[in-house]
Structure 1
Amino acid sequence: DGGQNVGAFSEVVLAEEKGTQRLVAIKCIPKKALQGKENNIENEIAVLHRIKHTNIVSLEDIFESTSHLYLVMQLVSGGELFDRIVEKGFYTERDASQLIHQILDAVKYLHDMGIVHRDLKPENLLYYSMDEDSKIMISDFGLSKIEDTGSVMSTACGTPGYVAPEVLAQKPYSKAVDCWSIGVISYILLCGYPPFYDENDAKLFEQILKAEYEFDSPYWDDISDSAKDFICHLMEKDFMKRYTTDQALQHPWICGDTALDKNIHESVSAQIKKNFAKSKWKQAFNATAVVRHMRRLQLGTSLEGPSQITPTSPCHAQALLLQEEDEEEEEEEEGPGRSLPHCLLP
């Protein structure tokens, strides 16, 4: 059941490792929610455990209580890709090319390990830190599967706007689906709107199945032919002809110097704001706000009383947890006492 992946019912909390004061994100998954899906989560964990790449959020540890599974994940605190682009004053094709280069590197690494991500989209791309030159990270493996040799991966999963034609056509599919998604992401990075869009899902699917997209004027007038060529090779309807990550990494727009240095910030950010409105309830856990908040409270050193939580069984990640909700203002008024988590480590 593609849409209802584990991410849909797990919550993410921020934790501090007491010994080191290092901050991590902990994915708390109620075991109730896993009934009948145990294989899914075991698979997700098996996949995550094997992955060590500079542009992929890593799984650092796993704990279990009677009621929950806890995945201790590397914390990335630089915010979402689109937000960062909108905040910039200057943004060029070369910036987009460097972003896509990092994503291609990470996905090539996965593909070389026989792993298909299956749900690559901008919301899953987060900056590692607030630094101006921060790297980008792929953050969500809710739908990834290890590709068995010769297996038919044909669950219709992923997000409609980014999903490859062969997935919708219910044909067997493979690593090529990720390359299609990278093409879609590249397209959006250069114009600020998606290549396929329709209020009506059936019509949207039809567009994707035919791979019907355009480089519309005026939005694409200042974009290089090389960039368009790169996108056409990834958003290629026939997955047998579609570029692999290796081929894409060798394209001059990625490894050469054909990506232009012209500032396209104004038009791209205007389109992003228009087409990717942030809906509060969909917003990913905002790590930076919470990190700032925790730094202010100096967690682990100055807190006393009931908020000082010590897990009942000794484990090296004794952590203080904070709820996901972004309630900075309230918490400032009410003081640190109310930041009690409702999900504790074993």
Structure 2
Amino acid sequence: MLFSSGAFSEVVLAQEKATGEMYAVKCIPKKALRGKESGIENEIAVLRKIKHENIVALEDIYESPTHLYLIMQLVSGGELFDRIVERGFYTEQDASALIKPVLDAVNYLHSLGIVHRDLKPENLLYYNPHEESKIMISDFGLSKMEGAANDIMSTACGTPGYVAPEVLAQKPYSKAVDCWSIGVIAYILLCGYPPFYDENDSKLFEQILRAEYEFDSPYWDDISDSAKDFISNLMQKDPEKRLTCEEALRHPWIAGDTALCKNIHESVSRQMKKNFAKAKWRQAFNATAVIRHMRRLQLGSSMDSSQHRKQNLTSMPGKKEEKEEIKTEICSNNTNQGMKTFTNDSEDILA
């Protein structure tokens, strides 16, 4: 079963024969990796270091002559915003409870010297469909190890609405960019719309660069001062003044009892459906906007890599013969590599 397709990979569902366990398999054609080997090597290096209950785990790696397969822990509970919209009751306390494990997981990453660099609601998934399911952080394709060779992080990456001002300014940045993104996510969780938005990309980036946002009435009238303080301290323009994840975990809105229990579902879900359900909104919040902005600023040779990213934003076509090739390889060759053996007796491997 095809889960999703990306710039140069597809994610499919596979079952381990011995146990019946289901996994998500990221299938990457080697021909698509030419010139981008360092990116996938970085992602694998990061994933191999991580073991946290709120982070999607890399279970195994398999390499065939034509493809690379990343065997990932399966998460099946859907995206964060979709689950909130489906609820009938939702409070500040619920939002606080959602942000806490994200902070804990990102704090863990930062303790390992890992910066995610693309935290956004689409990368926050529920582990399973159950009501009490835990939240999981996914997609480490843009993650970076601090202190690696040639590592002064200044590459423009991430998703515009969630990216920190220092990234857009192409200043050297640190793990504080993740804390900014968590602040943006928390803001949306409490009102249903983003702190920064404009149909014009340049104006959007100007808002972010100035850290220009408001707690608008009436949407924020019933939200606690503690919640606003929490967000304001994460969305500080100066990264040196921004709360770290460890500090944010000690904030009263997370660690104390200041989050309110009033039902805000009607207002928040209405705004989420209005602002995030439309394709045109999702299109406005993609990496091409960052690339256009950085090109306009003419920020030197770093634009070469940005142009490569732009060229890779279109989805890989779902050619049947390519899928059959992937299916054959993952089913018939893996036993020779000492890897988990996956079922190959139905179209559920790749559809």
Bin the TM-score by the shorter chain.
Answer: 0.7 to 0.9
Paired AA for residue 93 in structure 1: E
Paired AA for residue 23 in structure 1: M
Structure 2 CA distance for aligned equivalents of residues 211 and 254 of structure 1: 23
Alignment match, 1:232: 232
Alignment match, 1:159: 159
1:341 maps to 2:340: no
Structure 1 CA distance for aligned equivalents of residues 105 and 26 of structure 2: 22
What SS does the corresponding residue of 1:320 show, helix, strand or coil?
A: coil
Given that 1:15 and 1:25 are in contact with CA atoms closer than 8 Å, whether structure 2 keeps it comes out as: yes
Structure 1 310/207 Cα, relative in aligned 2: closer, same or farther at 3 Å?
A: closer
Provide TM-score, normalisation by structure 1: 0.82
Structure 2 CA distance for aligned equivalents of residues 96 and 160 of structure 1: 22
Structure 1 216/313 Cα, relative in aligned 2: closer, same or farther at 3 Å?
A: closer
Structure 2 CA distance for aligned equivalents of residues 84 and 311 of structure 1: 38
Given that 1:168 and 1:205 are in contact with CA atoms closer than 8 Å, whether structure 2 keeps it comes out as: yes
What SS does the corresponding residue of 1:26 show, helix, strand or coil?
A: strand
Higher helix share: 2
Given that 2:77 and 2:128 are in contact with CA atoms closer than 8 Å, whether structure 1 keeps it comes out as: yes
Q: What does the per-residue CA deviation read over 1:28-83, in whole Å, with 9 as the maximum and x for residues that have no partner? A: 01111111111111111010011000100000000001111000000001110001
Count of residues in correspondence between the two structures? 299
Structure 2 CA distance for aligned equivalents of residues 218 and 317 of structure 1: 54
> Structure 1 stretches (4+) deviating beyond 2 angstroms?
336-342
Range 129-138 or range 175-184, more displaced: 129-138
Q: Superposed, which structure 2 residues align to 1:20-39 within 5 Å?
A: 20-39=19-38
Q: Superposed, which structure 2 residues align to 1:278-293 within 5 Å?
A: 279=279
Aligned-pair CA distance for 1:337: 6.1
Alignment match, 1:196: 196
1:174 maps to 2:183: no
Q: Superposed, which structure 2 residues align to 1:1-346 within 5 Å?
A: 7-148=6-147, 151-277=151-277, 279=279, 310-314=331-335, 315-320=338-343, 339=348, 341=350
Aligned-pair CA distance for 1:319: 1.4
Aligned-pair CA distance for 1:27: 0.3
Q: What does the per-residue CA deviation read over 1:173-203, in whole Å, with 9 as the maximum and x for residues that have no partner? A: 0000000000000000000000000111110
Aligned-pair CA distance for 1:277: 1.3
What SS does the corresponding residue of 1:102 show, helix, strand or coil?
A: helix
Range 136-145 or range 147-156, more displaced: 147-156
Q: What are structure 2's unaligned runs of at least 5 residues?
A: 284-326
Alignment match, 2:310: none
Q: What does the per-residue CA deviation read over 1:107-155, in whole Å, with 9 as the maximum and x for residues that have no partner? A: 0000000000000000000001111111100011010010117931011
- Taking only the aligned residue pairs, the percentage that are identical comes to 74
Structure 1 CA distance for aligned equivalents of residues 59 and 204 of structure 2: 39
Given that 2:12 and 2:349 are in contact with CA atoms closer than 8 Å, whether structure 1 keeps it comes out as: no
Aligned-pair CA distance for 1:279: 4.0
Aligned-pair CA distance for 1:313: 4.8
Structure 1 CA distance for aligned equivalents of residues 12 and 171 of structure 2: 38
Paired AA for residue 106 in structure 1: A
Alignment match, 2:293: none
What SS does the corresponding residue of 1:8 show, helix, strand or coil?
A: coil
Structure 1 CA distance for aligned equivalents of residues 223 and 179 of structure 2: 21
Q: What are structure 1's unaligned runs of at least 5 residues?
A: 1-5, 284-305, 322-335
Given that 1:7 and 1:142 are in contact with CA atoms closer than 8 Å, whether structure 2 keeps it comes out as: no
Given that 2:75 and 2:127 are in contact with CA atoms closer than 8 Å, whether structure 1 keeps it comes out as: yes
Given that 2:13 and 2:350 are in contact with CA atoms closer than 8 Å, whether structure 1 keeps it comes out as: no
Structure 2 CA distance for aligned equivalents of residues 279 and 73 of structure 1: 28
What SS does the corresponding residue of 2:109 show, helix, strand or coil?
A: helix
Aligned-pair CA distance for 1:262: 0.4
Aligned-pair CA distance for 1:9: 1.4
Provide TM-score, normalisation by structure 2: 0.81
Paired AA for residue 184 in structure 1: V
Structure 2 CA distance for aligned equivalents of residues 278 and 139 of structure 1: 23
Aligned-pair CA distance for 1:278: 5.2
